[in-house]
Every structure is written in C-alpha cells, then in structure tokens.
Structure 1
Amino acid sequence: MSNKPEAIVFFDLDGTLFNSQIEVLASSVEAITKLKQNNIIPMLATGRTPCEVTDLMKKLSIDSIIGMNGQIVLYKGEKVFTNNIDKDLIARMDQFSKQQMNIPLAFYNDETMRISECTQAAKTFYHYLKQPIPPVDDQLYLNEPIQMMLLLCEEGESVYRDVFLELTFIRNTPYCVDVFNHGGSKGNGINQLLQKKGFTDVPTYAFGDGMNDFEMFTTVNHPIAMANAVDKLKEQAEFVTDSNDNDGIAKALKKFGLI
C-alpha cells in the first residue's frame, strides 16, 4: 500500500490560517479534519519555528511543518531538512548589529528561541505576536545550530542587504525582518520535502497572504491567495479566496474539491 497522500496543502499562519485575532476559525479547524479524512496532508508553512507552534499543531492534530520560511522541514514528526546559517556569519552580523545599527537580533532553531538583548523593540514585536519574550542569550549560535535570525526593527534592513550578501532579508511583520541563508524560502523547503519523500507527483496547494509566501506560490501546483493578501501575491495566485476573517480557507478547499 502506498504511503503517498492524495495531495498536500500548505498553510501560512499570520494573515492566513490565523484570523485578525491570531486565532484559527472553527471553519478552518473543521476543514483540516476533513482533509485528513480524505488522505490529504495539511502542513503549516510559516516563518515561525516549530517550537513556537507546538500547541497549535497539537490542537489541529497537524504533525508536519515547513518552518522558519523553509529552513526546517518536519514531515509526520520526521526531520527531513534543515538549512543552518554559518556560525562565523552569525558572529559578524551580531557584531555589526551591536556596533553599528543598535538593532537586537533573535536566534531561532527548531527547538529554541533566544534574543540578543531585551529592548523595547523586542517587547513590541513579541507583544504583537501575543507571545512571551524569549530569554536573552547572544551566544546561542556558538553551541547550537541556527536556521533563522530576526532583525527586531521597524526599519534599517536595507543596510544589512548591502553588507551580508549571503543572506536573505524579508520583512514579515511591521516589527521584524526574517533572515536566513540566501536561496532559502518556503518554496525551497517544499521542494526538499517533495524530493526527499518521493512526492514530486503529489498535487500541492498553498494558502498565503504575504511576500514570504511568493516562492511557495511559484512552487506549488495551486497557489491560493487570501482576499487580504498583498497585491503582488494575488497576481501570482491561481485563485483569490475570501479573507482570513471570513472563512477563506474552507471556501477555497471546497472550491477545489478537497473537502
């Protein structure tokens, strides 16, 4: 008997699976349950790290995730792919941030989150996410692999782009910029999953709303934008569904005959 799913559906979180109150609509919870009953795998595809969304994954009975914008891939609990940032590169960026930019960093891997210093910028960002502020540890990268960093700032990332050509910088919220290896993306994470698990012939669908979903939209067979998505992403979508506050997930899954 084949272990291949009938399809895989990737869900961005903020602005997509989450509504404006950072909650999952009842219609989306019901839709995800129906997907699994139909041998369709629901996967999170998010800038967040797996340890941030453990409770959510338990609530939704989802055990697969493209995390940190594709820097780690877990499929049914199995670690399929990681994309670690070079330690020397992190050290250079940490020094540059402290000495020239006065911008705090956050260090993420699939199990741990730490910040370089607890500033007002850090407090503002984690309050925006409705999350506790991680502990301070600016030496984490010396002892553990890091797959993603954050610049905790409302502006200033353009300077980093000119200095650190090895890295990609994507503003994911008004208060932070995601940082990872150049070429890393949700799309790359999806490709790694499909190739390593032998799923290249499995139909793929993706829901998103922001520019960190762009590469994902160019990778899957059926990209679906939320009504609240940015215009550039809508242009890349096969279909624009209703908003994240108005049952957009469930409506699109029904339209495509997945539930």
Structure 2
Amino acid sequence: MKKYSGAVFFDIDGTLIETKRGIDTISENTRRAIASLNKKGYLTCIASGRTRNYLPVLGDVFEGYITCNGAVAEVDGKILFEKFVEPEVLKHFMKYMDTHGFGYILENSEQCFTTLAGNRTFQGLTGRLSKNYDCFYPITDLTEPESFRVCKLQIACDDEIEFKRIQTLFAKDFEITPHRYEIAADVAPRGTSKASGIQELIKYLEIPKENTYAFGDDYNDLQMLQTVAHGIAMTPHVPPLDDIAEYVTGTVEEEGVFHGLLHYGLISQKEM
C-alpha cells in the first residue's frame, strides 16, 4: 500500500459543506487544495458519522474514508476494518427502543433499515444528510432485524430526559453522541469513534502522528481533534471545541478549510 508522509482528516457537515445554508458542494479552492495535498504525499481522508452509502457526492479527491463514526475505514477502495454491534447487545437495545416508542435507523456500509420510514422525524433526521433515500428501507423488510450486521445506529428521541436515560442505560455498550441540531444521536459500539478510527488507520499505514491534521465542528469531532497533532475547529462550532482546537478557522462559506491549510503551510497561494 502507498506510503504517506502525513494525513488530513475532514468532517463533512459544517466543514466541507453546509446544507443548512444551501452549500451542497465543496468549493473549487478547497477541492484544488485537497488535490495538492494528495500530490505532496498526504492522505486526504473523510471522517464522518455517516455510512458510506449516503455520503454526498464529494468528487474523487479523497483517498480515504472513515465512516460510521470510526467503525469502518477504507483507503483506495480497500476496507481496512469494519466493526459491528454484538447481536445480543443490538437485540436488547432494539427491544428497549421499540418498547418505549423511539425511532431508530440500523446502518452498515451497504444498507440502512429504519422504523421511521416515511415519517417527518425520519426526514428531519436524514434530510440534511442525504438527498438520496434509496439506501433507506423500512425495518419491516428484514425478516430478523436483530441479525442484520450493524456498524452504527441513529436514534430519534424528542424527550431530553429520556434521551439522557438512554445514554446512561447503554453507556457500557455504546458511544452515544448527540447531533448538533436535533434531539437525536449516533450510536456506535463502545470504544468506537472517529478518533479510534484515525488511530487504527495511521497505525496501519505507519503515518507519523506529528503530521496529522483534522477539521471539524461538532460533538463527534471532539476526540478526533484531540487525537491528531493539529486539531482545527470550523466557525461556528460546538463550545467544547474551544478548549481542544489548536486553531479556529472560518466558516464553510468563508472557505475555512482552504484557509486552515494555508495557515499551516500545507498549501500555498501559488499552487492555487
């Protein structure tokens, strides 16, 4: 496998694009900057809570993908690792959610099944993530839902007290990371995060940690920005990132990623 001199990891929503503000594509300056990093021997890698099957179209500039909040990693089309929720743990979690009437989505790299198909909560939860609903199926299509190999779940819960109860009850089995804009969360196997995915990836590829960078803005980016040598927060970002980020760059609209790369000397204006 190719040797890399360093790596730069990119969150998607609020970092490369901002669907809430109608920015659905990566800016041309940012795209050129990322292509320049590739030429210099850096691994350019998406790090997302999303699964691979509903990532937006980002073009061909990224060589790596860490998805499902760190449960899956691939480089140059080769899956390096893929982690799944234990079947008994999944069965217990689904039973609790069904009993209490909370919706959820079961996700892996190929398919997603949901109890929320067709309802407004589902559209709110996924609408800002994907305009392609083809990979989401009603959970009734599964003969044995608990046998589906799940890398990650999303849950929808509009009761904040009950949401915190879920976090407490299942803390032993899951990393439950709230979304920024909804009372909802990503649910991944305990010990799994963007950070753990990055750690495994740079170890596997023997990338020097001192040459690692990450851009993010949300709660599921906290550990990622702590794990790399240089953590860069977008504007705006969740408050906890203030104490973690080494540098704060601009908004998506202001091409924050492009200017962050300039700040660290990873690219130059001449190259653009």
TM over 0.5: yes
Distance between the aligned counterparts of 2:60 and 2:253, measured in 1? Answer: 18
Q: Which position in structure 2 is the counterpart of 1:244?
A: 252
Structure 1 outlier segments of 4+, above 6 Å: none
CA displacement 1:97-128 (0-9 Å, x = unmatched):
1112x111101111111212423211222223
CA displacement 1:19-63 (0-9 Å, x = unmatched):
33233222211211111122211100010111112732xx13323
CA displacement 1:60-118 (0-9 Å, x = unmatched):
33231110111111122221122210111111111111112x11110111111121242
Q: Which position in structure 1 is the counterpart of 2:270?
A: none
Q: Which position in structure 1 is the counterpart of 2:41?
A: 39
SS at match of 1:66: strand
Alpha-carbon contact 1:4-1:202 (below 8 Å) kept: no
Q: Which position in structure 2 is the counterpart of 1:28?
A: 30
Tell me by how many angstroms 1:206 deviates.
0.2
Q: Which position in structure 2 is the counterpart of 1:18?
A: 17
Q: Which position in structure 2 is the counterpart of 1:93?
A: 93
TM-score (norm 2): 0.87
**Mean Cα displacement is larger for which, 194-203 or 10-19?**
194-203
Distance between the aligned counterparts of 1:201 and 1:223, measured in 2? Answer: 12
Structure 1: 5+ residue runs without aligned partners? none
Does residue 211 (structure 1) correspond to residue 225 (structure 2)? The answer is no
Distance between the aligned counterparts of 1:108 and 1:82, measured in 2? Answer: 12
Q: Which position in structure 2 is the counterpart of 1:48?
A: 50
Distance between the aligned counterparts of 1:131 and 1:142, measured in 2? Answer: 27
Cα-Cα RMSD: 2.0
Structure 2: 5+ residue runs without aligned partners? 268-272
CA 1:141–1:4: 2 relative to 1, 3 Å: farther
> Matched residue pairs, number?
255
SS at match of 2:57: helix
Q: Which position in structure 2 is the counterpart of 1:187?
A: 195
Distance between the aligned counterparts of 2:16 and 2:27, measured in 1? Answer: 8
Distance between the aligned counterparts of 1:255 and 1:200, measured in 2? Answer: 20
Tell me by how many angstroms 1:236 deviates.
0.5
CA displacement 1:113-144 (0-9 Å, x = unmatched):
12124232112222233434411125465444
CA 1:54–1:74: 2 relative to 1, 3 Å: farther
Does residue 168 (structure 1) correspond to residue 175 (structure 2)? The answer is yes
SS at match of 1:60: coil
CA displacement 1:183-223 (0-9 Å, x = unmatched):
21111001111222222456100000011101111110110
